Every structure is written in structure tokens, then in C-alpha cells.
């Protein structure tokens, strides 16, 4: 198990130092560290993992090998490099532990699973999966790695559940290149929607309680993913592009042709959730599509229109229990934004994008440990918020929200 040692409170994030009582945070950190210890074969790897994890939660500006080593008191970054490269442990086993932790602390039947991908800028062509490819967040083609992620969202908090590195065909069509990057032989080319389905299958198999699935158009445009979710009886709201086709009556229509046809009286001003500047208000409407078999489900084309630019209209395919109100569909569609908050927070707080490794498992290992650190912060913040509610309102200067806003970390 982990070597017993006192927690260095100076190494904890400034956020920790704002919370009372600090020992409860220390206990939560140690409890989760003990929980994942069994997945590391050797005592030195267990201790290095604990140290690395504490480094991710520290205020050090960059979470790369040298700076983490200096923060942790190592003479060189060798221990960090060994942990992420040659040490014996399975990142997927720690991922499964993360899923159990999130279920235990955030699980709820109305939880929402959110799919999205994120890019990681890289130089050269040696890092596993790196290629000149489109990065949606940047809105352009970059030399980068792309990871597909699954997150879990509730009103009390949102955090990651799963991740997988996307390998373009220029990698999967080059076996020697894959061997050099330690890509497992069983890993073949898979589109991002196919990877997303694999992650959803793992989440459902692990018993993650959820009421809905939501994602952007990369996943919504994949009809096989839509059909699979419908066959499972899994409610979802998936964004689609204007080129996607839907059936209305006996005719097939492009979504872009249906969007302008929404009558004026069908629009409703609704919030897609709280943002950093208050409610995210849009005009929303929906139009029935050909129903799924049986009376228990309905299919809708959900439409969102910007208030500042009425020409900016977006569509979603919604599959929902019969009688689901428009407000619920809007809530689910708006929840997709939470995974962007997860990316921003995890990159800013726990170094999700600051790894310096090139292999397949070298990507999954630091990403998984960073996800676990983000989940711990999410759970602790949720518990702090619940405690604040029980104690009554604090003065504005001492509230967690005020603190996070001052650090630019507030995200609904």
C-alpha cells in the first residue's frame, strides 16, 4: 500500500487552502489514493503514482516531468518518466476505478453522459496518433493528437469517465509505426463515433446510472450510433449538421431545409443552463419526426436559434420518452457544454494536456491520472457546496463561486 506520510499542505492547490476543514480534503485524497494502490504491481510504482497525483493537484505552473519532479523534491524527472513509461500498471484498471468512484459520489438515474473530443498540440510525427487533423475546438487543422472523451454530468458536478486516443488511418495503415509507439496489436482503425460507442458500452456495462446521452454533430451525424441508442431504449439529444437527413411522413428531408420552416409561434425562449455570464438564453422549437416503433418513445427535430444572430440556427435529433417536455430536451442539449468545462478545468488545474510521452500507454496513463485528479476535485467541490447549503449562506467574499470566478475557473 501507500507509504504513510503527512500531506504537504503547501503542495496543495490554493483552492484547498480556501476550504475548511482542510483535514477532510486530506482524508479524501488519501482514501482515493489507497483505492487505486492495488493496481500498481510494485511498492515504488505505487509511491511514484501517489506522488505524481499529488503533483497534479499542486499549484505548480506546468505539470511536465521536470517541474513535477522539482515540486515533489526529486533530483531528476526519472521517477515520473518511469511511472508513465516502463512501470507495470494498467491505465484501464485505474479508469475502471475512476468510473466506480464517480458512480459512488455523483451517480443518479437522471445523470447525463456527454461525448466530445479534445486536441493536444504536438511537434513532429513521433507521438502516438499525431497527425495534421481537424481540431474542433481550435476550428482548424493542427498537428495534434485527438482524444475522444466521455463525461458524466449532474447539477452537483461534472467530470470524466473514459478516454481513448484516436488513431488516424495514416497510423493504423502503418504497422511498423504503431509497433514503435507500442500500440496494442488488437487496436485497429475506428472512427470517433465508433470509439464513442465503445466507451458508452463500457459505461452501461459498469452500471453507470444515466437518463440521457448528448453529443455534438460528429457523433449525432453517425446514424449507426443513433440507431444503436434507440435499440437500447436510451434517451438522447444529439446535435446534427444541416446535411443530415430525417424522415417526416413519407418523405426524407435535409435538416437544413427544415430549419427555416419552423413557424413563428413554435419558438420558446428557454435557457440551456447557467453560463459564466448568467442563463444561456436561446429561442427553441421542436418538430415531430417519424416515431420510433411503439408508443413509449418519440423522435423530434429540436431547433435552437441565437437571439443575437437569428441566422444562426442549429439542429438536434432527440429520442425521448413519450410526453417529454421541450424544457427537458433543452436542458439535455445544453448539458453538452459541461464537457467543455471539464476540458478547460482539467487542462488548467491538473495538467491534462501537459504530458511529455509518445507511446500509446504513455498517452493513456497521464490522461487517466489527470482525469482521476479532476474527479476528486469535482466530488470535493460538490461536497463543499452541499456543506455550505447546510450551514447557510456565506458572505460573498468567502463563497466558492466567488473564489472560482476570481481565478477564472467558474463553469456551470
Q: What does the pLDDT average to over 84-105?
A: 96
The label of the residue with cell 481537424 reads 134
> Across residues 93-102, what is the average pLDDT?
97
Kindly tell me the burial class for residue 254, based on how many C-beta atoms sit within 10 Å of its own C-beta (0-12, 13-18, 19 or more). middle
Going by their DSSP bridges, the two strands 140-154 and 112-121 should be labelled as antiparallel
Task: Find the mean pLDDT for residues 366-372.
Answer: 96
What pLDDT is stored for residue 6 in this prediction? 40
pLDDT at 389: 57
In which band, very low, low, confident or very high, does the pLDDT at 112 lie, cut at 50, 70 and 90? very high
Question: Could you tell me if 313 and 303 are in contact, meaning their C-beta atoms sit under 8 angstroms apart?
Answer: yes
* Cis status of the peptide bond prior to 21, with omega within 30 of 0: yes
Most confident of 102-111, 247-256, 285-294: 102-111
Percent of the chain surpassing pLDDT 70: 88
Least confident of 136-150, 166-180, 366-380: 136-150
Q: What is the mean pLDDT of the chain?
A: 87
Q: So what's the pLDDT on residue 392?
A: 62
With beta carbons less than 8 A apart as the criterion, state whether 90 and 39 touch. yes
pLDDT at 32 over 60: yes
Residue tagged 475548511 (cell numbers): 20
Q: Is the pLDDT assigned to residue 340 strictly greater than 60? A: yes
Looking at residue 69, its pLDDT comes to 86
Measured at the CA of 366, the angle between CA 360 and CA 367, to 5 degrees, comes to 85
Can you say how many angstroms the Cα of residue 323 is from the centroid of all Cα atoms in its chain?
29
Q: Above 90 in pLDDT, residue 233?
A: yes
Report field, pTM of the whole predicted structure over 0.85 = yes
| C-alpha dist (Å) from residue 137 to 31, 196, 199, 240 | 35, 18, 21, 17
Amino acid at each position: 500500500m501507500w507509504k504513510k506520510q503527512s500531506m504537504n499542505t503547501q503542495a496543495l492547490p490554493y483552492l484547498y487552502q480556501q476550504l475548511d476543514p482542510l483535514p477532510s480534503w486530506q482524508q479524501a485524497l488519501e482514501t482515493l489514493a489507497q483505492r487505486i494502490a492495488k493496481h500498481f504491481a510494485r511498492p515504488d510504482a505505487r509511491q511514484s503514482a501517489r506522488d505524481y497525483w499529488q503533483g497534479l493537484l499542486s499549484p505548480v505552473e506546468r505539470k511536465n516531468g521536470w517541474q513535477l519532479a522539482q515540486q515533489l523534491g526529486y533530483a531528476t524527472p526519472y521517477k515520473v518518466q518511469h511511472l508513465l513509461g516502463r512501470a507495470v500498471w494498467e491505465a484501464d484498471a485505474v479508469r475502471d476505478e475512476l468510473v466506480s468512484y464517480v458512480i459512488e459520489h455523483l451517480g443518479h438515474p437522471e445523470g447525463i453522459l456527454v461525448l466530445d473530443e479534445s486536441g493536444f498540440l504536438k511537434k513532429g510525427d513521433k507521438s502516438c496518433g499525431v497527425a495534421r487533423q481537424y481540431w474542433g475546438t481550435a476550428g482548424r487543422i493542427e498537428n495534434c493528437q485527438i482524444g475522444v472523451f466521455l463525461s458524466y454530468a449532474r447539477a452537483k458536478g461534472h467530470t470524466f469517465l473514459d478516454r481513448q486516443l484516436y488513431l488516424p488511418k495514416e497510423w493504423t495503415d502503418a504497422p511498423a509505426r504503431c509497433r514503435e509507439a507500442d500500440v496494442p496489436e488488437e487496436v485497429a482503425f475506428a472512427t470517433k463515433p465508433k470509439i464513442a460507442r465503445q466507451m458508452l458500452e463500457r459505461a452501461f456495462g459498469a452500471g453507470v446510472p444515466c437518463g440521457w446521452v448528448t453529443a455534438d454533430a460528429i457523433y449525432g451525424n453517425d446514424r449507426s450510433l443513433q440507431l444503436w441508442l434507440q435499440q437500447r431504449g436510451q434517451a438522447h439529444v444529439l446535435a446534427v449538421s444541416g446535411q443530415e437527413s430525417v424522415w417526416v411522413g413519407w418523405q426524407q428531408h435535409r435538416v437544413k431545409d427544415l430549419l427555416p420552416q419552423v413557424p413563428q409561434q413554435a419558438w420558446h425562449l428557454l435557457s440551456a443552463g447557467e453560463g459564466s455570464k448568467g442563463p444561456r438564453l436561446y429561442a427553441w422549437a421542436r418538430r415531430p419526426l417519424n416515431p420510433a416503433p411503439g408508443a413509449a418513445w418519440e423522435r423530434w427535430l429540436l431547433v435552437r436559434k441565437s437571439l443575437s444572430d437569428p441566422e444562426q440556427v442549429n439542429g438536434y435529433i432527440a429520442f425521448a420518452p413519450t410526453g417529454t417536455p421541450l424544457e427537458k430536451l433543452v436542458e439535455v442539449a445544453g448539458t453538452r457544454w459541461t464537457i467543455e468545462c471539464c476540458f478547460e478545468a482539467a487542462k488548467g488545474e491538473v495538467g491534462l494536456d501537459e504530458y511529455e510521452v509518445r507511446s500509446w500507454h504513455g498517452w493513456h496513463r497521464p490522461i487517466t491520472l489527470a482525469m482521476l485528479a479532476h474527479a476528486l476535485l469535482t466530488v470535493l467541490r460538490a461536497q463543499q457546496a452541499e456543506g455550505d447549503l447546510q450551514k447557510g449562506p456565506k458572505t460573498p467574499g468567502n463563497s466558492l463561486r466567488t473564489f472560482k470566478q476570481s481565478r477564472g475557473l467558474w463553469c456551470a
